[in-house]
Structure 1
Amino acid sequence: MARYYGIRICLTLERNAMGTWICHLRIAEALLPALPEIDAAAFCFGNLAPDSGVPSADGSAYDPPKEVTHFLTHSGEDEASIRDMRFYRAYVRRGAGAEASFLLGYFCHLLCDGLWSRRIARPSKLANAALFQQGGAAAWGALKGDWYDLDQRYVRDHPQCAFWRVIVPAPNPPMYVPLVPSAALHRQLDFIRQFYQHPDPQRPLDRRYPYLSQRTMDRFVAESAEDIAHILALLAQGAQAEGADTALALLPAERVRAYDELGE
């Protein structure tokens, strides 16, 4: 665990190399026009819910572990191995209520993390091989400094975004699946509110981003929202991604390739 913006947050675990919270919310917000029947607040909260595992004192593990919250089978797997269709088949139901909207949001979070691993996290590790040779924990900390500073800059510059309009004022929802206790979900949502409402004034946000640029983050949000909307439409039409553990298998292979352009 490290001090970041005055709050304890783990930035150094490789298995935390997943989409940032504001990235998830931006994609959720981009999906809303295509999902006019859903409960928007519940959907946004569902897009944050999988990251509700309580970290251990040293940040080396989570309770419940990511094998549970992110449908990973083996310890050490990264988010490219998320078995999101297992969640979909077990929990996602059609409907317009808060529960159905929350569960659909949870599913979208898993899809986003799978795309982030393929497009951002894995190529970032390859592109910064020399940095990782010096030490993986410090390298992930450096990369995630860019990731979360971009988050902070976005919420600063977009006062009408879903974080401010939905997450801050809305009451915490129940956890609708028996994967994470409601208390853990509420603790994490309160943490996220605190994290983005009170940034460290000593951290410059208007700077060069060597590991992940604003342009690449914006590209990821736009393309991932488009791809997830396409997946949801296919599933609504009856597609089942037969023989695959992830609905990303419904996308053309070129849509899930690693990004060549990452930082500035």
Structure 2
Amino acid sequence: MASWMIHLRIADLLLDRIPGLDETAFVFGNIAPDSGVPNADWSVFTPSKSVSHYQDNLEDKTTINIDRFLREYFTPELIRSYSLREFSFFLGYYTHLLSDIEWAAKIAYPSLALHPEKAQKDRTAFIWEMKRDWYDLDFRYLLEHPNFRAFRIYEHAEGFKNDLMGTFSEDAFENRREYICGFYRGEHGELYREYPYLAPEQADGFVAETVEKVNITIQAALAVWNEEVPFSLEDLQPSQFWISEKKLKDIQAWFNPDDMKNFDPIPVKMLDGVPVMTDGHTRAVAALLAGKSSVPLTWDRDDLGWDLYRECVKACRERNITKPQDLVNRILSEEEYHEKWDLWCDGMQAEMQKNRS
């Protein structure tokens, strides 16, 4: 509903307020809902806007079903399981939907209501007449802000593969990026003219107000993302079933249970509803042997091959390893560790690669 440049302007201001995001993924998320393939007059899209924009009523653009989107992609459980790239992307998608609701309610429908004769005569033609103002203001903004950050991020992020949503094809986001960037780098008319349907200051005000409103709405999701890991060691499922004696002794040489400042937090990933240790198993065993039941933890935000970790967890459970304490009696010499763990990992990776090919 809102123009692409409006979405990028909102994304840009939110980047200033939300440190630590994957900026490219967030910017793409802010455009992603508009990645459907249009028909000749851009009135119908594949997938339809009931899918891409969660519209329960295609005739009423304000009926975006935010709750449906949240249930599918942005529950607290999913947020905790996401990598930084995934979270940033879906936060951007959420922002786009919220912004479209505001645009329909504050810009599009009020403009239609102010010109009932034109809207009744040919609604589609009049919408495109209004959009001429919208898009020319976009061109004007880019002309006046040639180094506009969000657009530069978007323009230079070639080859952004869609491995995030089955709703769209693998190349949908890249195809839309090529189209949008080509559009905004293309020809335009006179930009310093009268704007009967959307004044420049009105567009500026909309962006500022929407950023404020969206920023409040997304705080619940950000709170989940930034929360501390609420587990102790006994709650964690290992993804490794042997411990190296050499590594353990190296850690015990510096480990001080009364001073955890030098203890790197153990990364945890929610996999299939279970908190899984993705690294730090030897440090966890060292802590347990020193009488510690809790250590610093952090959410694993890396974009890793989680199918391999699922296989590791499965192998651990087959050996009745369901908590770090179960590793205390599974300490091997360096040679045995290499034979029983390193080679097992190599074999599992090779088997998974073979199955994929």
- Regarding TM over 0.5, the answer is yes
Out of 211, 215, 233, the residue aligned to residue 219 of structure 2 is 233
CA distance in structure 2 between the aligned counterparts of 1:177 and 1:221, rounded to whole angstroms: 27
DSSP-derived class of the 2:213 partner: helix
Alignment of 1:1-264 (within 5 A): 18-74=1-57, 76-92=58-74, 93-94=79-80, 97-175=84-162, 176-200=164-188, 203-237=189-223
CA distance in structure 1 between the aligned counterparts of 2:83 and 2:207, rounded to whole angstroms: 25
1:3-50 CA distance string (max 9 Å, x none): xxxxxxxxxxxxxxx100000000000111221021111101110000
DSSP-derived class of the 1:212 partner: coil
Contact 1:22/1:163, CA 8 A, preserved across alignment: no
Tell me the CA shift for residue 237 of structure 1.
4.6
Comparing 82-91 with 138-147, which one deviates more in the overlay? 82-91
CA distance in structure 1 between the aligned counterparts of 2:97 and 2:9, rounded to whole angstroms: 15
1:115-150 CA distance string (max 9 Å, x none): 111111111110111222332122111111000100
Cα distance change, pair 178–133 in 1 and its aligned pair in 2 (3 A): same
Q: TM-score, normalised by structure 1?
A: 0.78
CA distance in structure 2 between the aligned counterparts of 1:192 and 1:236, rounded to whole angstroms: 29
Tell me the CA shift for residue 233 of structure 1.
1.4
1:190-242 CA distance string (max 9 Å, x none): 10010001123xx101101010000100000000001000111144457xxxx
Cα distance change, pair 223–193 in 1 and its aligned pair in 2 (3 A): same
Paired letter, 1:47: N
Cα distance change, pair 48–66 in 1 and its aligned pair in 2 (3 A): same
Cα distance change, pair 30–112 in 1 and its aligned pair in 2 (3 A): same
DSSP-derived class of the 1:220 partner: helix
RCO greater where, 1 or 2, for CA within 8 Å and sep 6 or more? 1
Query: Which of the two has higher C-alpha Rg?
Result: 2
DSSP-derived class of the 2:62 partner: helix
Cα distance change, pair 214–58 in 1 and its aligned pair in 2 (3 A): closer
CA distance in structure 1 between the aligned counterparts of 2:151 and 2:120, rounded to whole angstroms: 39
CA distance in structure 2 between the aligned counterparts of 1:132 and 1:86, rounded to whole angstroms: 31
Paired letter, 1:53: G
Contact 1:53/1:62, CA 8 A, preserved across alignment: yes
Comparing 135-144 with 88-97, which one deviates more in the overlay? 88-97
Equivalence for 1:8 = none
Cα distance change, pair 58–126 in 1 and its aligned pair in 2 (3 A): closer
Paired letter, 1:64: P
Identity %: 39
DSSP-derived class of the 2:187 partner: coil
Q: TM-score, normalised by structure 2?
A: 0.58
Paired letter, 2:39: S
Contact 1:38/1:96, CA 8 A, preserved across alignment: no
CA distance in structure 1 between the aligned counterparts of 2:121 and 2:69, rounded to whole angstroms: 37
Structure 1 residues without counterparts, runs of 5 or longer: 1-17, 239-264
1:155-188 CA distance string (max 9 Å, x none): 1110121344211112232221111112222211
Paired letter, 1:27: I
